[in-house]
Amino acid sequence: MSIVRDSFYINGEWVKATSGQTLEVTSSGTGELYATIPAGTVEEADQAVEAAAAAFSAWANTSPKERGEFLVRISEKLAERSDEIALTIANEVGMPLMLAKGIQAGLPTMTFADNAKRAAEFTWEEELGNSTLVREPVGIVAAITPWNYPLHQIANKVAGSLAAGCTVVLKPSEVAPINAFILADIIHEIGLPKGVFNMVTGLGPVVGEAIVAHPKTDMVSFTGSTRAGKRVMQIAAEMVKRVSLELGGKSANIILEGADFTKAVGDGVFKCYLNSGQTCSALTRMVVPRARLAEVEDLAVAAASGLQPGDPITGSSLLGPLVSAAQQQRVRDYINKGIHEGARIICGGTTPPEGLEQGFYVQPTIFSDVTNDMSIAQEEIFGPVLSIIPYDTEEEAIAIANDSSYGLAGGVWAATDEKAFEVARKIRTGQVEINGGSFNILAPFGGYKQSGIGRELGQYGFEEFLEVKAVQHN
């Protein structure tokens, strides 16, 4: 039996959709119908914004400590339902259940808890000469989120907004929306004041554009493709709204002479393929010394062979399917494009993995002898496709890493952390991991260039939702 949700969450109530139009959600592992959700209209989006606007003043004037207490309760309820959330997202997105529990369910729980603490401990006022600087919530936030880490991205926006004293209208991805309904159920259960959080599902060009264009939304926080981000920015510019954008990436992973190649290549392949490559910060370009190319190819193929796809619910593989048939076809098209442009395919390809003809699976694929002007080196594929790019000098490796319209993330492997840090300073991206450094949920996440504007997570993500007022006195 598929899941059916027929209402939006507006002004503290579940409100039945009016249009009768629905959207279907498929199970990534089987391609079968998983859920049906309502397709919102402009009128319903406007209703949600009006509710958020009516609730703003009271919520903004609620003490930060009390706001934090609500967030703690949300975090606790998310933890209680983590198994359900992980299973939901494994079905929606295709991340294997064993990874989804820690990442897709675990990160949002931590983000709500962190923002609760942040609200309670933040310095809301400070003295500067004859001024008192006052931090205040930016207002009503239109939050638009993607499908690849759906609840994580929702938490980044909703938790930070609520902690800052903003009210929110959320449009989650229509591709992976059921996790958002679970969050709305939790918010309703804990009794968050009416209108503080609102959710309308639907299509980006309808609901998304409506909440961005509404005169009462003060800020847009968007995560998604660079193309869609440009559209959001154009609409918001008409009313000079604050915009926070977390967009695409094409991150380079530089491996320098002296590094532990076995460890570096294995780690790099996994970080390219995590979530089936459906990660904006995935290390999709492996930049390696030309003299070590054959060795790197052998190591990469060996690593990929240990990451053969499997059913995300019942299997033991760390690699699942892609999110949809459309995404599967997009990735296959890029693999064909790589072959056509002259890259050398050393494993994988466009045929379905053996025994996985149902569902949206793609073989883990590696190209070698890639040049940085090829489409597979410049464009975000969002699938399990790795490009190995050889270099002759360290300076050339850094130039390759920076030769991109994106600037979200990157990696450097070297004989020492000091050397890796030296090179990391020269890479123009919002994050760089050195010698396999792990993701830090408290560190600012966001990009340079066309990877976006602003930051999410931790202190810097929280402060995106604040204005600063200077009050002068004698």
As a whole number of angstroms, the distance between CA 413 and CA 149 comes to 26
| pLDDT for 440 beyond 90 | yes
Kindly indicate the confidence band of residue 397, based on its pLDDT and cuts at 50, 70 and 90.
very high
Q: Are residues 364 and 427 in the same domain?
A: yes
The tens digit of pLDDT for each residue in 113-124 reads 999 999 999 999
As a whole number of angstroms, the distance between CA 226 and CA 247 comes to 5
Residue 238 appears among annotated catalytic residues: no
Q: Are residues 324 and 393 in the same domain?
A: yes
CA proximity to 433, closest of 444, 445, 443, 424 = 424
pLDDT value of residue 251:
98
Of the candidates 166, 272, 280, 347, the residue annotated as catalytic is 280
pLDDT value of residue 315:
87
Return the percentage of the chain with pLDDT > 90, whole number.
99
Q: What is the mean pLDDT of residues 348-376?
A: 96
Angle at CA of residue 124, ends 472 and 462, nearest 5°: 125
Kindly indicate the confidence band of residue 61, based on its pLDDT and cuts at 50, 70 and 90.
very high
Sign of CA dihedral 376, 377, 378, 380: positive
Collect all residues with Cβ–Cβ distance below 8 Å to 294 and sequence separation of at least 6: none
Q: What is the mean pLDDT of residues 220-237?
A: 97
The tens digit of pLDDT for each residue in 463-473 reads 999 999 999 99
The tens digit of pLDDT for each residue in 7-44 reads 999 999 999 999 999 999 999 999 999 999 999 999 99
Number of domains forming the structure of the chain: 2
Question: What's the order of all strands across the beta sheet hosting 22-26?
Answer: 3-4, 33-38, 22-26
| pLDDT for 282 beyond 90 | yes
The neighbouring-strand residues paired with 245 are 222, 453
Report the chain's mean pLDDT, rounded to a whole number: 97
Q: Quick one: 375 exposed, middle or buried, by C-beta within 10 A (0-12, 13-18, 19+)?
A: middle
Q: Are residues 401 and 448 in contact, defined by beta-carbon separation less than 8 angstroms?
A: no
Q: Are residues 186 and 265 in the same domain?
A: no
Relative to beta strand 140-144, strand 167-171 is parallel
Angle at CA of residue 168, ends 167 and 172, nearest 5°: 170
Residue 246 appears among annotated catalytic residues: yes
Q: Are residues 31 and 128 in the same domain?
A: yes
Of the candidates 246, 297, 380, 456, the residue annotated as catalytic is 246
Relative to beta strand 452-453, strand 242-246 is antiparallel
Q: Are residues 35 and 76 in contact, defined by beta-carbon separation less than 8 angstroms?
A: no
pLDDT value of residue 130:
98
Q: Are residues 178 and 274 in the same domain?
A: no
Q: Are residues 220 and 294 in the same domain?
A: no
Q: Are residues 67 and 111 in the same domain?
A: yes
In this structure, what CATH number is given to the domain that contains residue 142? 3.40.605.10
Kindly indicate the confidence band of residue 207, based on its pLDDT and cuts at 50, 70 and 90.
very high
Q: Are residues 213 and 328 in the same domain?
A: no
pLDDT value of residue 452:
97
Q: Are residues 266 and 237 in the same domain?
A: no
The tens digit of pLDDT for each residue in 137-177 reads 999 999 999 999 999 999 999 999 999 999 999 999 999 99
pLDDT value of residue 323:
97
pLDDT value of residue 265:
98
Return the percentage of the chain with pLDDT > 70, whole number.
100
CA proximity to 10, closest of 187, 174, 177 = 187
Kindly indicate the confidence band of residue 410, based on its pLDDT and cuts at 50, 70 and 90.
very high
pLDDT value of residue 16:
98
Q: Are residues 202 and 285 in the same domain?
A: no
In this structure, what CATH number is given to the domain that contains residue 297? 3.40.309.10
Kindly indicate the confidence band of residue 1, based on its pLDDT and cuts at 50, 70 and 90.
confident
The tens digit of pLDDT for each residue in 31-41 reads 999 999 999 99
Q: Is the pTM of this model over 0.85?
A: yes
The neighbouring-strand residues paired with 140 are 167
Question: What's the order of all strands across the beta sheet hosting 131-137?
Answer: 125-128, 131-137, 466-472
Angle at CA of residue 306, ends 265 and 147, nearest 5°: 85
Domain that holds residue 228: 3-247+451-472
Q: Are residues 28 and 84 in the same domain?
A: yes
CA proximity to 145, closest of 160, 131, 126, 132 = 160
pLDDT value of residue 46:
98
Determine the residue type at 137: P
As a whole number of angstroms, the distance between CA 55 and CA 52 comes to 5
As a whole number of angstroms, the distance between CA 457 and CA 76 comes to 19
Q: What is the mean pLDDT of residues 62-80?
A: 98
Residue 174: HSE in the Cβ half-sphere, 13 Å Cα cutoff: 18
Q: Are residues 286 and 221 in the same domain?
A: no
